[in-house]
Structures are given as C-alpha cells and as structure tokens.
C-alpha cells in the first residue's frame, strides 16, 4: 500500500515539474529559440503538405498584451493559384516581393501546446518506472502530442476555410458542422485528456487488457521416459 507521505511527495514533484516545464516552454517561445523556430518550420511544412492546394505562411508567435503568458501564432493562407499569379505579377513589375491578399487565423500556443505538453511531461516524471523508461516515454510522448497538435492546426485552417467560404476544399463546406463539433470537443479539457491517454498508454500499456499478449500454448511433451535395466 502506498503511504500518504509518498503520495504527497509525488504530488509536490508533479507541481514543481509542471511549473518548470511551463516556464521553460514559455521562455523558449519568448526568446524565439531553435526549439520554437523548429516547431514553427515543422508546423508550416506539415500543414502545407496536408493542405497542398493552399499557400500557407506561419509567422513567429507574438506576445499577447491582454494575457502576458499567452502567445498567438498567426497563420496566413490563400489559394496557390493566387500566390503564383501574385509572384508572376511581382516579377513582371520588378518588385522583390509578391503582394497578395491573405486570410489569417491566430492560435493560442499556451492553451494548444504549452499547458498540455507540460502536464504530460510532469505526469511522466512522477510515474514509478525507471529513469530510462521515463526518458523514453517523454520523447515518445512529446512526438505523439506534437503530431496531435499539428493535426489540430490543420483542423483550425480547414475550419477557417469553411467559415470564410474560401474557394478551396469544397468538401469542407459540406462537413463544416462536423469539423466544428470536433474542434469544440478538443478544447483545453479535451487536449488534457489526450495528454493523459498518451501518458497512460506509454506508462502502463503492457498492463492494459487490449494490449496484453495472449499466453502461448505450451507444447506437451509426448516423449516417453526411457527405462534402463541394470
């Protein structure tokens, strides 16, 4: 039986780890470190690859004046045809940069990434497993959660296309209500649930009923004992 002292100690470690991770990620985006730049580049590359008919630009997150700890990442997009036409027009006019109208959305990275990822990493820290397993689970868990985050960013762009009736991805306009329901489900609470599920699967996956290996049937030996006469 786990003692109360051990429970309180684990809770204290969890709280300290959570605030440490939150401030570390907060500082990373504030200072525009290599980590935040890599996340931005990966987000633009993945979103642009999935939404190949759109021209996607992601700007570095800016600090919010209303909420000092919140960072808004702006995503600008337009049709690829409009971007190509603007580039041709700029080349003919001798302008260095193309000018074209874009639509933009902002994403709160504090709610989308920093809080739930810090929660996931803190849970992993206090899990009673070896440190080798903790480091492995933190790396795999971060990868899985980033994948989920990039899928949500793609969903945000599709939602914006549906709401503003942009002439792209006509199926989005048909299923706009479904997309809105999915987006509403994965608010901060839904995102934390995803973080908990990732942590539980990585930490206790082998003990879950649906991933337990079935015992192999043992082959009974049919060999008869050899009697030796003296």
Note whether residue 164 is domain-resident.
yes
Residue 130 burial (10 A CB sphere; 0-12, 13-18, 19+): exposed
Could you tell me which of 136, 117, 141 has the C-alpha nearest to residue 17? 117
pLDDT at 143: 95
Whether 13 maps to a domain, the answer reads yes
**Number of domains into which the chain is organized:** 1
The range of the structural domain enclosing residue 150 comes to 4-49+110-206
Query: How high is the pLDDT of residue 211?
Result: 46
**pLDDT single digits (tens) 96-128:** 666 666 777 788 888 889 999 999 999 999 998
Report if residue 99 sits inside a domain: no
201: pLDDT confidence band, cut at 50, 70 and 90? very high
Answer yes or no: is pLDDT of 34 > 60.
Answer: yes
Judge whether 212 lies within some domain. Answer: no
Alpha-carbon distance of 63 to 59, in angstroms, equals 12
- Residue 110 CA to residue 107 CA, distance in Å, equals 9
- Neighbour count for residue 136 (Cβ, 10 Å): 14
Task: Give the separation between CA 71 and CA 26, rounded to whole angstroms.
Answer: 9
Please give the Cα distance from 160 to 167 (Å, whole number).
Answer: 12
For residue 56, is it within any domain? no
- Position 1 scores a pLDDT of 60
Residue 19 lies in a domain: yes
């Amino acid at each position: 039986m786990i003692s109360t002292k051990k429970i309180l100690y684990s809770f204290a470690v969890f709280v300290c780890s959570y605030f440490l991770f939150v401030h570390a990620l907060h500082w990373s985006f504030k200072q525009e470190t290599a980590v935040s730049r890599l996340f931005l580049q990966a987000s633009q590359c993945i979103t642009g690859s999935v939404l190949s008919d759109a021209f996607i630009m992601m700007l570095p997150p800016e600090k919010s004046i209303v909420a000092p700890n919140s960072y808004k990442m702006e995503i600008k997009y337009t049709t690829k045809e409009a971007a190509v036409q603007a580039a041709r027009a700029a080349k003919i006019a001798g302008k260095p940069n193309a000018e074209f109208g874009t639509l933009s959305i902002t994403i709160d990275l504090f709610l989308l990434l920093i809080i739930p990822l810090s929660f996931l990493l803190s849970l992993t820290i206090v899990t009673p497993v070896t440190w080798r397993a903790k480091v492995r689970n933190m790396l795999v868990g971060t990868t899985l959660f980033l994948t989920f985050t990039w899928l949500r960013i793609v969903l945000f762009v599709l939602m914006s296309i549906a709401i503003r009736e942009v002439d792209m991805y006509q199926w989005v306009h048909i299923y706009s209500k479904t997309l809105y329901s999915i987006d509403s489900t994965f608010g901060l609470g839904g995102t934390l649930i995803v973080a908990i599920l990732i942590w539980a699967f990585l930490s206790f996956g082998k003990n879950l009923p649906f991933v337990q290996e079935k015992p192999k049937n043992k082959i009974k030996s049919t060999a008869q004992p050899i009697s030796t006469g003296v």
